[in-house]
Each structure stands twice: as structure tokens, then as C-alpha cells.
Structure 1
Amino acid sequence: MSESDQQFEFSEFSGEFVDDDVIVHLRIYRPAGTNSDWILEVLDQEGNTTIWNDPFDTDRDAFEEFLATVQRDGIRSFLEEPVQKLH
């Protein structure tokens, strides 16, 4: 199965996030029907993607990392050149 054919399960924490008049789309997902770790991805208003290198044990861990990043670096950090983030 190719990656484009892969089905994903999205966390309830996924969705639109607004702060400081900036909108990003938060995607926390894993392959459907598995107990795999969760992937954290943020899409900015221009469609650029920031994805964390390492998966998370739980979707809550991924969401808390996102919130910590916003607290530490600001929501506008996602508008810069897309990067891979470590946790």
C-alpha cells in the first residue's frame, strides 16, 4: 500500500487553532486500525507544514508538545520556514 493510499485515524485534538490572529491547522494522527505512536503536524495559512521528527506515545502528549511550542516560541514560529522539530 502506498502512502497516499494509507488511511489515518485523527485525534480529537486535531483541528483549527487560533492565537494572536494566526490560524494553523493541527493534525495529530496515526495509521488507522493500529496502536502506532502519534504524528504531530502543523499546517500554516500558506499550506506549509511543520512536522515533528519523533512520534508521540499518546495524542495528548503530542497536543501538549504543540501547546508548549506555542507558549515557548509563539504561534508565529509556524509561519517561518517550515522545519522538522524535535521533542
Structure 2
Amino acid sequence: MQSGPHPELIESPLSRHIIQDGVPLTINIVRIATEPGWSLEVINARGTSVVWSDAFASDREADAALRKVLAEEGVQAFLDN
């Protein structure tokens, strides 16, 4: 089985590295160039990735979802158990 070329990804300017309560997190907000929906991924210092299952209509909506989780659950939502 051959795989085709990798799709072009567009990275949001809202993608970033943050330190929240002393915990480093990588925030990836991207979309496939030919698709309208934005994907949100948070990676902790151990490399554990949390990806939202639903796409967002805009990169700002994805960022708002991240901010909501951080406000309601804190950085613990992204730590390994």
C-alpha cells in the first residue's frame, strides 16, 4: 500500500509554548489546507498528546476551548497520571 503526499498543514499564530503553574505545554492549532476545521493538540513535557476529537470553526475557537479547560481544570488536565 502506498501513501500519498502529506497534506499541507496551516499552523495558527495561536500555536505556542506556554508554562502554566510551572508546567511546560506545547499548544498546536492547525488545519489541513483543503479543510475548514481547526485541530487542537496539547503536548506535555513527557510528550503525552491530548487532541480534541471535534474540529473547531476557527483557530480562535480552538484557543478558547484550551483556555476554558485551563480555567476550569487547570494544568492537571494535561498531566500524566
Q: Structure 2, unaligned stretches of length 5 or more?
A: none
Match in the other structure for 2:70: 70
RMSD: 2.0
- Counting aligned pairs with the same residue, the percent is 29
The corresponding residue for 1:58 is 58
Quick check: which has more Rg, 1 or 2?
2
For residue 69 of structure 1, give the secondary structure of its aligned residue in structure 2: helix
Aligned positions of 1:1-87 closer than 5 A: 2=3, 5-32=6-33, 34-80=34-80
Cα 1:35/1:18, change in 2 over 3 Å: same
How many residue pairs end up in the alignment? Answer: 80
Residue 20 and residue 57 in structure 1: after superposition, are their counterparts in 2 closer, same or farther (change >3 A)? same
Which has the larger displacement, 72-81 or 43-52? 72-81
Structure 1 residue runs of 5 or longer lacking an equivalent are 82-87
**Normalized against structure 1, the TM-score is what?**
0.82
